[in-house]
Structure 1
Amino acid sequence: MTDADPTLWTLFLSTVALRPYVFVFLAVYLFSNTLVFGFLQTLWFTVGGYFLVFLAEFSSTRTGFPFGFYYYIDTTRQQELWLSDVPFMDSLSFTFLAHASYMTALFLCAPLWRRRSDVQIVDTKAIRRSPSVLVLTVTLFVLLDIVIDPVALQGSRWFLGQIYGYYEEGVYFGVPLANFLGWGIVGLALVMLHRVLDGVYRSRPRRAWGMAWVPYRGLIGPLLYLGVFGFNVAVTFMIGEHTLGWSICFCSALW
């Protein structure tokens, strides 16, 4: 590193300034996951999930597996953190997308405990490990990419910036179908990682299965899912991609 190169701390602050909306989603995820699953599980899932996704992206930019062949444009290398040829925040964002998808699946599959000032998800080990939660989590995870990837590919038209591209234009608004298959594979791997950590840390006694019993804490994850989904749909309409926007809304309503 030369004297002109930014320091790691400078790059971190610049990353926050460049991608503030991502850090808002990340903060909500950290708060939600810690409340429900505890600090240690959150720490290891965030770190382990990050490196799992990074390896998938590192592989894809070289071999095309699992997301298909694509490349990152390093115009922001002096403005945000990168690890090798992958922007740091890109791989990290998968952790909160996986959490949001998992909590939404639990919300839809598990019973709810209600009272006037509270709603909680009453999930059991059997529910958390059920095939329905597994399939629904992966489905919801891929559904997010159906919204995110086409609008991210148009990053030059909004404040994301053009950060990546595909070597060959895909059939779905420029995105190849292999990308969605890759998201399914990575989503499944993240769920399995979560199950392993859940088995380790849920067996240990702790207050209310987390740090504290907070009213509506089980709803934070599903609200995060809706927030990410809604944010990307809003950007889709904002940049004038009305066909894509209405297609997403129509498909989501049918789903």
Structure 2
Amino acid sequence: MKHKSIAERFCLTAHVVSTLFGLAGLLFILPNPELVANLPPMGMKLFTWGMTAGGITYIVFGAATLALYGYRTLGLGTTLAFMIPSILLSLSSELLGTSTGFPFGHYQYLSGLGYKIAGLVPFTIPLSWFYMGLTCYLLARVGLKVTMGSRWLHQLAALALGAVLLTAWDLVLDPAMSQAAFPFWQFQEVGEFFGMPYRNLVGWMGTGLLFMSIGAFLWRRTPIVLSRSQLTVPLIVYLTNFLFGAAITVVQLDARFLFPTTLSILFGVIPAIIFWWNAKPSLEDMESLLSNDNITPTTVEAVVK
């Protein structure tokens, strides 16, 4: 188990660092060509690598992080039961979208995200659907605290909220990746919602809801019990990916895009943090809490509940 944790922490660190590295390149290096011209040979090699592999690296490490995290906390079979449908169904949606315009609108991928499957969809795209989809679903499923008479009603609510978290991330991702100074894809039609077609948001919600539902069905006999500390990895991944899109959207686009960014915070970031906080503390957390002389029994009881 220890070697799994080490590998997971390495991939998470690499995901966060490569995301921040890519963000710095897009926001500060590329817009200032004089900085590139003055780079030493090692810096130029690093810049060249970042331009050719940076977008691939952060997605691959994100997928590896959630795959290892799922293997450690949920088990291999449970993780694969979510991973395989999410990758296959999201790839099918993307291939359909880039070919016909359904369900996201007419768009095409540019360079920077790796080898394109069928010449249309970079192989990294279904990986990003997987790791962000699992991130959003686990946050919603574990952290949703509502009083419902039926387990199925709770499950439906978790699926809906997981899809909302995923779509909220797209509110900052799509403008950053399609309308900023250095785009990775482009829409071939004028979108009604800040350059995005409304059906793009519907497509995101529908695709996420579809593969999350299949994953939930395959998990129907598997109890998913995660503590707050165990839910920290999905929260870090969600916030890191939000930051990537939001920073580019806010810095490189005009003030109008503060609106979708605010919506992303309201429907994505804030609920994600609430879901994480709602998860029950682990035994280690409780032992630390009980060892604090300033904590009263009432406080402990409130935390457990």
1:252, 1:93 → 2: CA distance? 18
What residue in structure 2 maps to residue 100 of structure 1?
A: 135
Q: Give the 3 Å change call, closer, same or farther, for CA 128–98 of structure 1 in structure 2.
A: farther
TM-score (norm 2): 0.61
| Identical residues among aligned pairs (%) | 24
In the alignment of these two chains, the number of paired residues is: 213
**How many angstroms does 1:143 deviate by?**
0.8
Structure 1 counterpart of 2:141, which letter?
A: L
- Find the partner of 2:244 among 214, 226, 231: 231
**How many angstroms does 1:136 deviate by?**
0.9
**How big is each residue's C-alpha offset from its partner over 1:64-98, in whole Å with a ceiling of 9 and x where there is no partner?**
2111222223x45xx82221011110122101111
What are the ranges of 5 or more consecutive residues in structure 1 without an aligned counterpart? 1-13, 112-124, 204-208
Structure ranking higher in helix proportion: 2
Q: Give the 3 Å change call, closer, same or farther, for CA 63–102 of structure 1 in structure 2.
A: same
Q: Which has the higher contact order (CA 8 A, sep 6+)?
A: 1
The answer to whether the Cα contact below 8 Å between 2:169 and 2:264 also exists between their aligned partners in 1 is no
Structure 1 counterpart of 2:238, which letter?
A: Y
* Higher alpha-carbon Rg: 2
TM-score (norm 1): 0.72
Q: Give the 3 Å change call, closer, same or farther, for CA 243–170 of structure 1 in structure 2.
A: same
Root mean square deviation of aligned Cα: 3.0
What residue in structure 1 maps to residue 162 of structure 2?
A: 137
**How big is each residue's C-alpha offset from its partner over 1:13-54, in whole Å with a ceiling of 9 and x where there is no partner?**
x98554222223223322332233211222342232111111
What residue in structure 2 maps to residue 109 of structure 1?
A: 144
**How many angstroms does 1:152 deviate by?**
0.8
Q: Which consecutive segments of 4 or more residues in structure 1 shift more than 6 A? A: none
Q: Give the 3 Å change call, closer, same or farther, for CA 253–70 of structure 1 in structure 2.
A: closer
Q: Give the 3 Å change call, closer, same or farther, for CA 40–16 of structure 1 in structure 2.
A: farther
- Find the partner of 2:186 among 165, 172, 177: 165
**1:218 counterpart = 2:243:** no
2:233, 2:97 → 1: CA distance? 32
Q: Give the 3 Å change call, closer, same or farther, for CA 237–250 of structure 1 in structure 2.
A: closer
Structure 2 counterpart of 1:27, which letter?
A: A
The answer to whether the Cα contact below 8 Å between 1:32 and 1:217 also exists between their aligned partners in 2 is no
Structure 2 counterpart of 1:234, which letter?
A: A
